Chain A
Amino acid sequence: MRDKRMSLDDVVGELRSGMTIGLGGWGSRRKPMAFVRAILRSDLKDLTVVTYGGPDLGLLCSAGKVKKAYYGFVSLDSAPFYDPWFAKARTGGEIVAREMDEGMVKCGLEAAAARLPFLPIRAGLGSAVVDFWEGELKTVTSPYPGPAGTETLIAMPALNLDAAFVHLNIGDKHGNAGYQGVDPYFDDLYCMAAERRYLSVEKIVETEQLVKEIPLQQLLLNRMVVDGVVEAPNGAHFTLAGDSYGRDEKFQRHYVESAKDPESWKAFVDRFLSGSEDDYQAEVRKFAQEQA
């Protein structure tokens, strides 16, 4: 079986500007932040991003890497809730927004996973979602009239991805992986909807240990849906990661505060985002000590 271990920078080397990428997790929960930081270090640009957005989308916006965004919401999940960099990109008119109902994101990923051009869904009808999509979103009429008449529904198009990035708690070097905690989110769907699938995990273990350590139902990914595996301990920081760790609320607040003016943001970038992932993790540890 193939050994799929890669470095963060190997993964970014396989990407191209203009790609459509999906980012797993949810809001400020188990986001593939180490991958996001690796993209920030690269010269990739003009990305189309599909996500249940959090600080992942915010950081990509801070570096002007996003051309278009498909999302159900963008939230930091704790005060002040609204991501400051996403807000700046939106109020500056810098990104094309394909805002949609949260359920439509799941539906679009499921369509892509099943290689279907669309799936019907009720959510979206009557709302501004149709206007956000500027003609890209169509309806479909049922061929089966019901007792109440014939239904016309949203035809949610497949959210086909060039690449997907997800972070899980534990995996092997072949791409089998599982989550530990209360929620898988939608990480399997992102992988099934994508051409290239990149997984980071808190720890890489032997397959035998993986299947012993977690229940079968938590083995979310198999080898067929993963192309590259990166061992990235604390790789979801500053978002939470199930049983591995909670959200770093102090650091997330520092991220928000730093976004307020160019000088404080430059200081944030210089300190946390100008070196390697190891440099980032070392500075994060120092930050936690300073704040203790």
Chain B
Amino acid sequence: MTTTDTVTRAEYCAIACAEIFSGAGEIMASPMATLPLIGARLARLTTEPDLLITDGEALILADTPAIGAKGAIEGWMPFRKVFDVVASGRRHVVMGANQIDRHGNQNLSAFGPLQKPTRQMFGVRGAPGNTINHATSYWVGKHSPRVFVERVDVVSGVGYDKVDPDNPAFRFLHIARVVTNLGVFDFGGPGHTFRALTLHPGVAPETVAENTSFEVAGLDEAGVTREPTAEELRLIREVIDPKGLRDREVAL
């Protein structure tokens, strides 16, 4: 019998990542790290059976296999077709972030000046196209003031303060959630600012405040992340992530 009193921090993160996709329907779920990947597969095995998921390369999976395992396929999704899906809007991506600010601007490109950075990462990748076209969420395995900054160095993912209200080309921007090792957040604070929804059990509001460079809306009112169901725990532990890869990605 699985008991919930042994639920780990990574397991709370897994169900929080699954809830990112609540109500998503028949769209492509594109998680870019282990925890969001567990979350997307957990959602597909519970409340969101119509989600499309891929092997991370070019195959659409018919099955919902464990992380790293192969499964039966149902279709083809090479990179060029991914850009068609992005433009169609029928996608919800969960990206990582080197920096996120209070309006949801995100950086995974580089630190420092654009033409002479102090540290080079990936470049903007698909972040500008993702954020302007379809639902986007973020996963941060170690919530710290170095990630949650006043101002990002390079705007890869577009935040709410970049929206031109007179230009309907911005109308699809939607940053749904930020899930971290400390809690669940969105941009529902005043003027689309970073807001706490729930903190994971054992996380104090002070810990979140100390690890965020700006004021977090709703921090004192935030509830506690719900308990996973016994079925969710079984799926996480036995079906999706039997090797426990989730624990490597979540700082305590």
Contacts and interface: CB of A to CB of B under 8 A. Distances in A.
Contact of B129 (A101, A128, A182): A101
Given A125-B158, A126-B155, A102 B115 contact: no
A101 B124 contact: yes
A88 to B, nearest CB: 8
Contact of B171 (A73, A148, A184): A148
B167 A152 contact: yes
Q: How many interface residues does chain B have, given as a range?
A: 35 or more
A140 to B, nearest CB: 11
A127 B162 contact: yes
Q: Range of interface residues on chain A?
A: 35 or more
B36 to A, nearest CB: 17
Contacts of A75: 122
A128 B114 contact: yes
Interface string A15-37: 00000000000100000000000
Interface in B143-197: 154-159, 162-164, 166-173
Contacts of B112: 91
A97 B109 CA distance: 12
A126 B163 contact: yes
Interface stretch (A79-87, A164-172, A268-276): A79-87
Q: Which of A87, A127, A132 is most buried by chain B, counting CB atoms within 10 A of its CB?
A: A127
Interface stretch (B24-32, B76-84, B215-223): B76-84
Contact of A72 (B86, B117, B125, B169): B125
Contacts of B126: 72, 101-103, 123
Given A74-B122, A148-B171, A185-B79, A127 B128 contact: yes
Given A73-B125, A182-B78, A185-B79, A91 B117 contact: yes
B43 to A, nearest CB: 25
Nearest to A150: B168
A71 B79 contact: no
Interface in A120-175: 121-129, 131-132, 146, 148-153
Given A103-B86, A150-B168, A73 B118 contact: no
A283 B133 CA distance: 47
A126 B78 contact: no
Contact of A149 (B109, B125, B162, B168): B168
A90 B117 contact: yes
Nearest to B126: A102
B22 interface: no
A132 B14 CA distance: 36
A230 interface: no
Contact of B155 (A86, A87, A127): A127
A187 to B, nearest CB: 10
A93 B169 CA distance: 34
Given A106-B80, A128-B156, A186-B80, A91 B118 contact: yes
A189 B155 CA distance: 28
A91 B132 contact: no
Q: Which of B87, B123, B124 has the most CB of A within 10 A?
A: B123
A126 B162 CA distance: 5
A96 interface: yes
B65 to A, nearest CB: 17
A131 B132 contact: no
Contacts of B132: 122-127
Nearest to A217: B76
A186 B164 CA distance: 32
A91 B85 CA distance: 34
Given A182-B78, A185-B79, A91 B120 contact: yes
B251 interface: no
27 contacts: A53-B123, A71-B123, A72-B124, A72-B125, A73-B122, A73-B124, A74-B120, A82-B120, A86-B120, A90-B117, A93-B115, A97-B115, A101-B127, A102-B83, A103-B83, A103-B86, A104-B128, A124-B128, A125-B158, A126-B158, A127-B131, A127-B158, A128-B154, A128-B155, A149-B167, A153-B169, A186-B80
Interface of B: 57-59, 76, 78-80, 83, 86-87, 109-110, 112, 114-129, 131-133, 154-159, 162-164, 166-173
Interface of A: 26, 53, 71-75, 81-82, 86-87, 90-93, 96-97, 99-104, 106, 121-129, 131-132, 146, 148-153, 182-186
